Amino acid sequence: MRTLHALPLPEETEESETALLDRVFFALSDPVRRKILERLDGQALLVSELAAPFAISLQAVSRHIQVMVRAGLVKQERTGRISRCSLDAGPVYAAAVWINRYAKYWQQQFDLLAATLSDIEERHPDKPRPAARRSQRKGATRRQR
């Protein structure tokens, strides 16, 4: 008997993507886990090597690693009792794409700020800008010496 594999419904795909993002953001929310990811950048390390700089137990580091494994951020290869970890940046990319969707809102705020500053400058053209005033003061104190 053959089993047909149904394609996931859009809601199921959306839910699984949401669940993945939840796990990634949860994993990234802890400074110890972020530091572990930094240490894994470009190299595979043993759990004991990852734990070395931290003032926490090896068991606590292992729990942090498991959180990152569930989020897909870390791959673990076991050979007997030895566990080597490596970074998988794919989920970080997915989180960055999600965050980047909101960049347009920040860009609008920067555009509004630039327009406001330009408007202020047009209304008061004789007033030097703060950076110009600082450089004028520095020049004056140098000349006074």
- Strand locations in 1-145 (E): 45-46, 74-79, 82-87
Query: Using 50, 70 and 90 to split pLDDT, how confident is the model at 9?
Result: very low
Q: What is the number of domains present in the chain?
A: 2
Q: Are residues 24 and 51 in the same domain?
A: yes
- Which CATH number do you get for residue 16? 1.10.10.10
Residues 106 and 140 in one domain: yes
Domain boundary among 75, 93, 111: 93
18: domain range? 10-93
Whole-number Å distance between alpha carbons of 9 and 18: 14
pLDDT at 48 (0 to 100)? 92
Cβ atoms of residues 86 and 44 within 8 Å: yes
- Averaged pLDDT, 64-80: 95
The answer to whether residues 107 and 135 belong to one domain is: yes
Q: What is the pTM of this model?
A: 0.64
Give the model confidence (pLDDT) of 14-55 as tens digits.
Answer: 668 889 999 999 999 999 999 999 999 999 999 999 999 999
At 106 the pLDDT is 80
- pLDDT per residue over 55-68, tens digit each? 999 999 999 999 99
